[in-house]
Structure 1
């Protein structure tokens, strides 16, 4: 991390973490899409995609990911490329688009932390 006052995060990093914190809280307040339980889209269980993306994002907020977690999270993000276009329910599509945005920000935070 960049030099500065000990214990303080650099401005951009802190802003990104703060935004991620807000996105994670907003995600947890949204009801899960009712039709998505038990549904597989593009070979992906939607409940697991939700749980995994949120868990990795929450772990980024707690501290650095291990190299393996980072690699697994990066691979998970590729799943959204197949799932998002295949969702035809408007609520589910919006829910997973916001989940994708949160997870993408989490990966940006982690990448910045690794610099």
Structure 2
């Protein structure tokens, strides 16, 4: 595994241990369902890790949209835990998209 994949894998492990921010359960921010945003990114990243750095075009498109959605909602998050939780998702999504196929 190269260093970038290992870095995403470490973020993924931290994400799996993290509790979902309670305030964001069933919440929509800027018309974004925060649970679905988490699930969409997590699904793409876990697939990418299982396939050792490969992501199909459909998941790549989903992840690209998720990064744009995160850019809109990140500034609206309150509290350290919310910012850390979604900041980690953002870091994983961007790293996954920026990795050469």
Establish whether TM, by shorter chain, passes 0.5.
yes
Task: Indicate the residue corresponding to 1:108 in structure 2.
Answer: 98
| Alignment equivalent of 2:70, drawn from 65, 69, 80 | 80
Task: Indicate the residue corresponding to 1:6 in structure 2.
Answer: none
TM-score, normalised to structure 1's length?
A: 0.79
Task: Indicate the residue corresponding to 2:87 in structure 1.
Answer: 97
Q: Which runs of 5+ in 1 are unaligned?
A: 1-8
Q: CA offset at residue 24 of structure 1?
A: 0.3
Q: CA offset at residue 88 of structure 1?
A: 2.2
User: Which digits, 9 at most, give the CA deviation of each residue in 1:47-66, with x for residues without a partner?
Assistant: 11111111111111122222
User: Which digits, 9 at most, give the CA deviation of each residue in 1:4-45, with x for residues without a partner?
Assistant: xxxxx6xxxx11111111110011101111111000001111
Q: Contact (CA 8 Å) 2:40, 2:62: kept in 1 or not?
A: no
- The alignment yields a C-alpha RMSD, in angstroms, of 1.3
TM-score, normalised to structure 2's length?
A: 0.89
| Bigger mean CA deviation after superposition, 62-71 or 22-31 | 62-71
Larger radius of gyration: 1
In structure 1, distance between residues paired with 2:50 and 2:14:
17
| Alignment equivalent of 1:50, drawn from 34, 38, 41 | 38
In the alignment of these two chains, the number of paired residues is 99
